[in-house]
Chain A
Amino acid sequence: MYDTKAIMRKAFRISKVRNESAIRIRVPGGHLDAAHLSVIRELAETFGNGTVHLTTRQGYEIPGVKLTDLGAISRHMAEMIADIEVACGVVLESPEDGYPAAGTRNVCACIGNRVCRFANFDTTALARKIEQAIYPNHTHLKVAITGCPNDCIKAHLHDIGIVGTVVPEYDPSRCIGCEACLDNCKKKITNALSFEDFAITRDEDYCLRCGECILKCPTGAFSRGKKLYRILLGGRTGKRNPRLAQTFVENATQDIVLGICRNLHRFIATYIDQSKAKEHMGYIIDRTGFDTFKSFVLEGLTLGPDVKVVQPTNPGYVYPRRP
């Protein structure tokens, strides 16, 4: 009567309530034109039970809709989902049929520099570009973007996490030696700064490029240099072996971030274990080894001298299997 797999591929849910579904709406970067909310409200009140759930991945989920209504629902929300995706540069060929894929999950982002003082870049804008690089696609992949190393979006729990960093530029002729940068770095971050001969030196080996020295400086002696990105790899939740991601690429440009994102699905498609329902990327890398992953996703990219590629080594936490 219903093809559950086809329904789920369109991002609808198979509910625990017989004959019911839930609508799921992608919001890349978690930022939406408020005008779309009226459509979300209409969907909830016309087809659902009048409530809306904010998903763990910054989308909307509208529960209590009938499986028989999915066609009408798809037509009702066609214009909205097409608009949201077009803002990312993704053109849906037939939005009146609903979403073309659900495997690659909504790209999450913290609020970024449109609002936050700590953020080192516009996370929403990058989330939209990454949406274009990885969606639509049926393979399971989670990407999150965070504006600074505070990692409020928890990019460390994603297959790919993008952390915005900034190179602090120091002009000693503007420094008054108040040590506000140093005291803060020592107390809160990695103690990467030292003060000698009435000037600050920054230890590149320890600096996380979070940019807090720039925020603290009362004279602008520290100012914003290049925006660079740290790409985290291998984070996940899940039953067996949850794991925090670790640095994969340090000092990446936005082109490198997008290049790697574009290459991910080719790696997954080549090595995925088809016998499993939806093998996650992290487990595929565990099988193929890091070097295979690296050579696939860095293919065709020019890295430049400052870019460092690192092998994550965190085995994560393992719930033992009974022998």
Chain B
Amino acid sequence: MMKTLRLDNEQAENAFRAIADDYTVVAPKRCAGRGRFSDTDLTTYETVESLGEIEFSAKTYFSAKSVLLPIREVMFSFNRGEAEEVRTSMPPTIVFLRACDIHALAVLDAMFLEHGGREDCYYARRRENMICFLLECPGPFDECFCVSMGTSRTKDYAVFIRPEAEGYAAEIMDDRFERYFPFGDRAHVAPRFSEEDPIPVALPRHVEASLFADASWKEYSQRCIACGRCNTSCPTCTCFTVQDIPAADDRDSPTRQRIWSSCQVKDFSLLAGNHDFRLAHGDKMRYRVLHKITDFAKTFGLPMCVGCGRCDIVCPEYISMRKCIETINTICRRGAEVG
């Protein structure tokens, strides 16, 4: 049974505290002084203890994917030649997500739970203990294109909470959470979703390999610095490397860790024999963008990009995903005209 209600600040904080007693809560938080540049803040996902700590109105720099995919995850430990699987368990965890980021979970699930007919046990253990609370989007941020990507709306959340001029409004979709809200007035509460993208985007239906030769990628090679921020902030980039890392005090007992990687940084596509097939930054970028908008969909049936716009926001060179998709569309149209 869905329940909707309005709460004053004290009621809302009490409800939140009771929830936080039973669950770890991860939500957007404005972290003072943690920004890259001096005296700037970083809005990112952090564990929070109260509703007041949550940043409801700004988009986070990083996505919440590290809840499910830690930047470094220990998979095995080796003790003098004996390997042991590390079974890290995540306590039941609530994550406050916007609609696009909830859709991003479908991309992660496709990769880690469905692909190849085998679950990734490390991901699965975390995923089953994760619960989504919705953050609404009364309007798009400048860089959003979720409406174009079909990720602007969702019903896939347990609870929706919105701060209001006085107190909070809440919608409880998941019965497990009703008991935390034994008060408040029943009221009409529904989350608002972004209705229109500032700049709509249309994905190309089909991309010819001849696109690779287009001069645009050379231009991007001049602009892109291959820093990888587009990957590390993306809610659906999941590439990792696997490394055996010795313990500081015992070099014979390493742990095997999987560690985030990025298709933009050096040596990502380095192969045995010192072959590297994507050295130019524009080529790396083309690989990323096509993977996001066409290649992933060929295998999994849904685009990898959810239109959250983070790659635009974090790019120090002001390279825009939307603009790049537009460029690809132009190249495709030109190709079609030429035949």
Interface residues of A, Cβ cutoff 8 Å to B: 113, 117, 119-122, 147, 164, 166, 172-180, 183, 197-199, 211, 214-220, 223-224, 227
Q: With A and B bound together, what is the CA distance between A146 and B37 in angstroms?
A: 16
Chain A residues with CB under 8 Å of B70's CB are: 173
What DSSP secondary structure best describes chain B's contact surface?
loop
Known contacts A177-B259, A219-B71; decide if A113 and B37 are in contact (CB<8 Å): yes
- In the complex, which residues 26-62 of chain B have their Cβ closer than 8 Å to any Cβ of chain A? 33-39, 42, 44, 62
Please tell me which one of the listed residues A113, A197, A214 contacts residue B39 in the complex, with CB atoms under 8 A apart. Answer: A113
Selected A-B contacts with CB under 8 Å, 12 pairs: A172-B72, A176-B71, A176-B241, A176-B259, A176-B261, A178-B228, A180-B265, A198-B257, A216-B227, A218-B231, A219-B62, A223-B34
Known contacts A176-B261, A178-B265; decide if A227 and B245 are in contact (CB<8 Å): no
Known contacts A216-B227, A224-B33; decide if A176 and B260 are in contact (CB<8 Å): yes
In the complex, the chain B residue whose C-beta lies closest to that of A172 is: B72
Chain A residues with CB under 8 Å of B139's CB are: none
B335 at the interface (CB under 8 A from A): no
Please tell me which one of the listed residues B33, B38, B227, B259 contacts residue A180 in the complex, with CB atoms under 8 A apart. Answer: B227
> B145-157 interface mask toward A, CB cutoff 8 Å, 1 = contact, 0 = none?
0000000000000
State how many residues of chain B have any CB contact under 8 Å with chain A.
29
In the complex, the chain B residue whose C-beta lies closest to that of A211 is: B38
Q: With A and B bound together, what is the CA distance between A119 and B36 in angstroms?
A: 11
Give the interface centre of B33, B37, B44, B229 by most chain A CB atoms within 10 Å.
Answer: B37
Chain A residues with CB under 8 Å of B37's CB are: 113, 117, 215
B243 at the interface (CB under 8 A from A): yes
User: Does the CB pair B266–A220 fall under 8 Å?
Assistant: no
Given contact pairs A176-B265, A220-B36, A224-B34, enumerate 8 new A-B contacts (beta carbons under 8 Å): A173-B71, A175-B259, A176-B241, A178-B265, A178-B266, A198-B245, A218-B228, A218-B229
- In the complex, which residues 96-129 of chain B have their Cβ closer than 8 Å to any Cβ of chain A? none
Query: In angstroms, how far is the closest chain A Cβ from the Cβ of B103?
Result: 23
Please tell me which one of the listed residues B39, B42, B228, B265 contacts residue A121 in the complex, with CB atoms under 8 A apart. Answer: B39
What DSSP secondary structure best describes chain A's contact surface?
loop
Chain A residues with CB under 8 Å of B36's CB are: 214-215, 217, 220
Query: In angstroms, how far is the closest chain B Cβ from the Cβ of A306?
Result: 19
User: Does the CB pair B246–A119 fall under 8 Å?
Assistant: no
User: Does the CB pair B33–A177 fall under 8 Å?
Assistant: no
Q: With A and B bound together, what is the CA distance between A113 and B36 in angstroms?
A: 12
In the complex, the chain B residue whose C-beta lies closest to that of A122 is: B39
Query: In angstroms, how far is the closest chain B Cβ from the Cβ of A85?
Result: 25
Chain B residues with CB under 8 Å of A197's CB are: 245-246
Chain A residues with CB under 8 Å of B236's CB are: none
User: Does the CB pair B266–A183 fall under 8 Å?
Assistant: yes
Q: With A and B bound together, what is the CA distance between A198 and B261 in angstroms?
A: 12
Known contacts A121-B39, A198-B259, A218-B228; decide if A179 and B266 are in contact (CB<8 Å): yes
Chain A residues with CB under 8 Å of B4's CB are: none
User: Does the CB pair A218–B262 fall under 8 Å?
Assistant: yes
B232 at the interface (CB under 8 A from A): yes
Chain B residues with CB under 8 Å of A166's CB are: 38
Chain B residues with CB under 8 Å of A121's CB are: 38-39
Query: In angstroms, how far is the closest chain A Cβ from the Cβ of B34?
Result: 6
Please tell me which one of the listed residues A119, A147, A174, A199 contacts residue B71 in the complex, with CB atoms under 8 A apart. Answer: A174
Q: With A and B bound together, what is the CA distance between A164 and B37 in angstroms?
A: 13
Give the interface centre of B36, B38, B262 by most chain A CB atoms within 10 Å.
Answer: B38
4 tightest A-B CB contacts, nearest first: A178-B265, A113-B38, A218-B228, A218-B232
User: Does the CB pair B62–A220 fall under 8 Å?
Assistant: yes
User: Does the CB pair B34–A176 fall under 8 Å?
Assistant: no
Known contacts A117-B37, A177-B241; decide if A220 and B262 are in contact (CB<8 Å): no
In the complex, the chain A residue whose C-beta lies closest to that of B37 is: A117
In the complex, the chain A residue whose C-beta lies closest to that of B259 is: A176
Q: With A and B bound together, what is the CA distance between A174 and B261 in angstroms?
A: 11
User: Does the CB pair A220–B228 fall under 8 Å?
Assistant: no
User: Does the CB pair A178–B262 fall under 8 Å?
Assistant: yes
Chain A residues with CB under 8 Å of B38's CB are: 113, 119-121, 147, 164, 166, 211, 224, 227
Q: With A and B bound together, what is the CA distance between A75 and B39 in angstroms?
A: 39
